[in-house]
Amino acid sequence: MIDLSRGMVLAAGLGLRMRPLTLDTAKPLLTLAGRALLDHALDRLEEAGVREAVVNAHWHADKVAATVAERSTPRIHLQREEEPLETGGGVARALPRLGPGPFAVANGDSMWLDGPIAALARLAAAFDPERMDGLLLLVRSAQVEGEVGSGDFLLDPLGRLRRPKEREVAPYIFAGVQILTPAIFAEAPTGRFSLNRVYDRAIAAGRLFALVHDGVWFHLSTPPDLERAEAAMRDGLAKAPF
């Protein structure tokens, strides 16, 4: 098992599909089960052993800063981004604080409940730096309420990922939780770019892998998604599918 002492939560997005809820706040500050989504993500990282975390902020950055200032653990470095860097650019800028080894990255709006073994612990146990530059957590599209399109990835028997071909439906979507190494950014552009660019390069090299989540994951894209998740949590309907 690798040491997951460092991690990052991506909290700089505009949350356009979640409007009007995000007109006056950042999407990761929306609450579910009485707690900000950002705090849920940081809680999961802390439970996995993360002691130092980077949180990036752009939209309503002062409110994100106020939220992380209320936490004593993990130790948080706030990365303000005057111009949006997207997911890849945000992580690339944080690399000096994330160290030379593998690190965890979670989307600030990702909300999941663990199965028998915590998802980040499963990822850490499965991560092999000799073979992998990235290990993503996936969710079965058929188990997700809400619009997920044609899916994100297909998975081979060894856990390697590929993208769907034209008109091909992919059975898995990305859960917004992953372990990456600095090596995956070796040929990344500077400035603003999506993590999808480094994913595709790693797929071509046979070095992007995934695990399928065995707990509950909430698709939180629109206000109705958040309402459904809140109702499920409140009514005790959020249970692992196995």
Question: What is the CATH number for 118?
Answer: 3.90.550.10
Residue 241 placed within a domain: no
Per-residue pLDDT of the chain in tens (242 residues, 90 and over written 9): 898 999 999 999 999 999 999 999 999 999 999 999 999 999 999 999 999 999 999 999 999 999 999 999 999 999 999 999 999 999 999 999 999 999 999 999 999 999 999 999 999 999 999 999 999 999 998 888 766 677 899 999 999 999 999 888 899 999 999 999 999 999 999 999 999 999 999 999 999 999 999 999 998 999 999 999 999 888 876 554 43
Residue 133 placed within a domain: yes
Residue 242 placed within a domain: no
- The pLDDT of residue 97: 97
- Contacts of residue 165, Cβ cutoff 8 Å, sequence gap at least 6: none
Residue 218 placed within a domain: yes
Q: Under the phi-then-psi rule, with left for phi > 0, alpha for psi from -120 to 50, and beta for the rest, what region is 237?
A: alpha
- The pLDDT of residue 103: 98
Residue 239 placed within a domain: no
**Angle between the N-to-C axes of helices 86-98 and 195-204, in degrees from 0 to 180, rounded to the nearest 10:** 80
Residue 1 placed within a domain: no
- The pLDDT of residue 238: 58
**Separation CA 235–CA 241 (nearest Å):** 16
- The pLDDT of residue 240: 44
Q: For the beta carbon of residue 23, count every other beta carbon within 10 angstroms.
A: 9
Domain of 221, in residue numbers: 6-234
Residue 134 placed within a domain: yes
CA 179 to each of CA 36, 69, 190: distance values in angstroms, whole numbers, following the listed order: 23, 25, 21
Question: What is the longest distance spanned by two Cα atoms in the chain?
Answer: 48
**Separation CA 141–CA 33 (nearest Å):** 24
What's the number of domains the chain is made of? 1
Burial (CB < 10 A; 0-12, 13-18, 19+), residue 196, is middle
**Do 173 and 139 meet the contact criterion of CB atoms below 8 Å apart?**
yes
Residue 240 placed within a domain: no
End-to-end CA distance of the chain: 25
- The pLDDT of residue 102: 98
- The pLDDT of residue 182: 98
